[in-house]
A = this chain, B = another copy of it.
């Protein structure tokens, strides 16, 4: 049997590339996405497109309600900042940070991996060009892996130890785009914008759009992003 990997799939550029890396590494891929009351529901639709495009074995969309806690511009009634310079993004944690989001997402991926008898989880975090989120840092991912190995049956019964793969963690956005292109990812299917409209058109002005646009320029790759007319 081909080994299975669970891949966190947000619908954005990074996770699509991480999924393509998992496939390149020889895994049968299982995508997991979350409907968490985020403003940009278009990303869920994009995740489904990416799962089909990459011929995943399965794709689950898990509803979870992070709005019940509030605390983020992505899930509460707080404005997403626009037109920030990338230097400013590096200073402090922005209001788009969702408390414990990657920890919650990885925990559901861990549950599914255990049921699938999979020992591999892929996540598309990167520590460069990353908008200052604490749960995108290498030391966070490493500590999650240590915890996950103790949390599960395999940690007790001595089967293959779980690995959290973060293949993009040391790459710039431009390098991620270059890698994705090499692996045949169609970035036109992806949505990164925090303010995307229902059709997935991007605002071009939020931190995520700014980082993405800059990445395409630096990679020397044509930007296939659908931008809303106003931007």
Contacts and interface: CB of A to CB of B under 8 A. Distances in A.
Interface of A: 60, 62-66, 68-71, 92-93, 97-104, 106-108, 110-112, 114-115, 134-135, 137, 139-140, 143-144, 146-148, 150-153, 155-157
Contacts of A65: 62-63
Contact of A100 (B63, B107, B137): B107
Q: Binding site of A, secondary structure by majority: helix, strand, loop or mixed?
A: helix
Nearest to A102: B151
Copies in the complex: 2
Contacts of A68: 60, 62
B147 A103 contact: yes
Given A93-B153, A103-B107, A134-B156, A146 B148 contact: no
A147 B134 CA distance: 11
B146 A143 contact: yes
A184 to B, nearest CB: 30
B62 A148 contact: no
Contact of A143 (B102, B137, B147): B147
A115 B150 contact: no
Contacts of A144: 147, 151
